[in-house]
């Protein structure tokens, strides 16, 4: 007899949501996590009365009412709207690309003026490629310029992207930028989704609500005692690296990772916004997150006398680092497909999440996928 219906490896959003759903269905679960805390990459730590996103900014957004109602049934979400700013050599630009951006870039004030400026630069770029015998963009740089023109590419895309990927834009595949969102309205809301916010009190409240009444063991590495863990449950929900699950038998998948430098400042407001991207290549970090702005608004910001910021440095993943972003180029996708074929033959293992499925996931689609799973 197995002690549990499900062993859930990983207490991030996929694992915690699955555990909640299984408990609601009357199933017995054990959740294990190799970290010393619950929550995976959405874990927060309270510092100076501020919920600090320890693994980078997480902003929940969705147009799926079922998902939004589900998370709000666990914890109420606030009205945070993601409106990042780009800093290029000390000059600020609104993101995503919209009429505010175009006014800051060129001084244009009407959609028609902005469209004419962009179309003129796009046409020049495409003509230049044709004259060089290039019929289709061969790399990210050519793709981006053909979509948005040179000014925005050079100012807001090139340096940031090269820092993020650790290689020149001319060395990155064109498909990374299939399209660029451009709005000819004065709207700084980064997401188009109907619902958006942060859990009031931080993401730990969401995870603790999902795992309420469920047995959880942290600081437990599945691979250090694999035979035992596999023996105690009828099925395994695995949210770790799929290549590691199969002993790297076809080789190791590649990732990008992020290093964080956290600073506490003796001021109530460091940069006036939650997210500021630094788009010139000479600044080594990609962005600065000021965590209090996710949950504090108006006078609340000034009433909290200190602030916490995180500088983010993107780097190539190596063994021992946290894997963040799958490198979904042709080589890695072909390798993942080999592991996926093995996974499809499993009767007692369900793979879920960005590491197990080797793809970038926003939070809402993770929950949506779990809600659709059959127990």
Which of 179, 228, 282, 344 is catalytic? The answer is 179
Our answer to whether residue 212 is catalytic in this structure is no
For the chain, which residues score pLDDT lower than 70? none
What is the model's pLDDT at position 75? 98
Chain-centre distance for alpha carbon 176: 15
- For the question of residue 287 being annotated catalytic, the response is yes
Residue 13: phi and psi, rounded to 5, are -65, -40
| Annotated catalytic residue within 142, 153, 183, 295 | 183
Catalytic entry in 127, 219, 300, 360: 360
The residue from 33, 290, 312, 357 that is catalytic is: 312
Share of the chain above pLDDT 90, in %: 90
363-372 vs 13-24: helix axis angle to the nearest 10? 30
Do 144 and 153 meet the contact criterion of CB atoms below 8 Å apart?
yes
CB-based contact 270:352 (threshold 8 Å): no
Q: Is 167 a catalytic residue?
A: no
How many C-beta atoms lie closer than 10 Å to residue 208's C-beta? 17
Walk me through the domains of the chain, giving residue ranges and CATH numbers. Answer: 4-79+193-254+326-372 (3.40.50.720), 104-177 (no CATH)
Annotated catalytic residue within 6, 190, 278, 287: 287
Please give the pLDDT value at position 330.
85
Q: How many CA atoms lie within 13 A of 339 on its CB side?
A: 23
Catalytic: 312? yes
Q: Which pLDDT value is given to residue 129?
A: 87
- Alpha helices by DSSP H, the chain: 13-24, 65-74, 99-106, 111-131, 140-148, 150-152, 158-165, 203-210, 226-231, 242-245, 299-303, 330-344, 363-372
* Active-site annotation holds for 256: yes
For residue 175, the model assigns a pLDDT of 84
Neighbours of 136 (CB within 10 A): 9
Residue from 5, 48, 362, 368 carrying the catalytic annotation: 362
């Amino acid at each position: 007899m197995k002690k549990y219906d499900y062993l859930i490896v990983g207490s991030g959003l996929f694992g915690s949501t699955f555990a909640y759903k299984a408990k609601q269905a009357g199933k017995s679960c054990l959740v294990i996590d190799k970290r010393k805390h619950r929550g995976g990459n959405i874990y927060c730590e309270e510092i100076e009365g501020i919920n600090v996103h320890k693994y980078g900014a997480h902003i929940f957004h969705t147009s799926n009412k079922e998902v939004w109602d589900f998370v709000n049934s666990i914890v109420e979400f606030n009205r945070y709207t993601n409106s990042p700013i780009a800093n290029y050599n000390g000059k600020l630009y609104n993101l995503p690309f919209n009429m505010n951006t175009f006014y800051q870039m060129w001084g244009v004030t009407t959609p028609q003026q902005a469209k004419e400026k962009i179309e003129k630069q796009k046409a020049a770029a495409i003509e230049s490629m044709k004259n060089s015998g290039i019929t289709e963009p061969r790399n990210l740089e050519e793709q981006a310029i053909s979509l948005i023109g040179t000014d925005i590419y050079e100012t807001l895309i090139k340096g940031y992207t090269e820092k993020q990927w650790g290689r020149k834009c001319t060395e990155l595949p064109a498909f990374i930028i299939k399209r660029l969102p451009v709005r000819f309205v004065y709207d700084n809301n980064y997401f188009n989704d109907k619902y958006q916010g942060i859990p009031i009190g931080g993401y730990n409240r969401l995870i603790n609500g999902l795992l309420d009444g469920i047995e959880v063991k942290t600081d437990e590495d599945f691979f250090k005692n694999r035979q035992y863990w596999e023996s105690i449950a009828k099925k395994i929900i695995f949210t770790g690296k799929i290549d590691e699950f199969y002993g790297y038998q076809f080789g190791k998948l590649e990732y990008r990772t992020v290093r964080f430098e956290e600073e506490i400042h003796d001021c109530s407001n460091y940069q006036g916004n939650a997210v500021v991207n630094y788009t010139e290549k000479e600044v080594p970090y990609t962005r600065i997150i000021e965590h209090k702005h996710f949950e504090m608004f108006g006078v609340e910001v000034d009433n909290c006398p200190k602030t916490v910021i995180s500088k983010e440095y993107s780097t190539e993943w190596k063994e021992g680092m946290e894997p963040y972003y799958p490198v979904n180029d042709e080589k890695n996708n072909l390798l993942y497909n080999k592991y996926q074929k093995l996974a499809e033959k499993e009767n007692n293992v369900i793979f879920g999440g960005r590491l197990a499925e080797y793809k970038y996931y926003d939070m809402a689609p993770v929950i949506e996928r779990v809600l659709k799973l059959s127990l």
